[in-house]
Amino acid sequence: MASKELLDMLNEAISNELQVSIQYMWQHVVCRGVNSESIGGVFKEIAMAEMKHAEAIADRLDYLGGSPTTKPTPITVGDTIKSMLSLDKKAEEDAIALYKRIIAKAGGENDVTTRTLFEGILSQEEDHHNKFTTLLESD
């Protein structure tokens, strides 16, 4: 079975995914300005993807005998589109770093399924990071 360290890392990932799914959805609701319609759509789309990540990770954690958390890490919405995008870019960078550590840990524990799950999620997080970075550059 999985180590306590790996189970704790999965719960950290769930907390982060819950945080960004709420954060991005509220940003979708409250963003204002000339680009709010298009950028708001990006926030909403990514929020929904992040919730699916939380579900997939929780399912895996449950299978491994852990108890999935229901507590998100602190949510910070921001007050301008630029501040929202900056917060979100940083959140994605944090997720990318964590998921690389989880992939390495799962690989070290010979947990191919967890490693594969996080490799797929990592790819999507890198895409989210790229979207936020590109939107910040165009501002």
* Domain total in the chain: 1
Please tell me the predicted confidence (pLDDT) of residue 126: 98
**Is the C-alpha dihedral spanning 131, 93, 85, 128 positive or negative?**
positive
132 neighbors 89 (Cβ within 8 angstroms): yes
* pLDDT over 90 (residue 138): no
Rounded distance between C-alpha atoms, residue 6 and residue 4, angstroms: 5
CA distance 124 to 122: 5
pLDDT tens-digit series, residues 89-136: 999 999 999 999 999 999 999 999 999 999 999 999 999 999 999 999
Pick the closest to residue 73 from 14, 5, 136, 16 (CA basis): 16
Domain span at 10: 4-138
pLDDT for 1 equals: 82
Give pLDDT tens digits for 62-93: 999 999 999 999 999 999 999 999 999 999 99
CATH number, domain at 111? Answer: 1.20.1260.10
pTM reported for the whole predicted model: 0.95
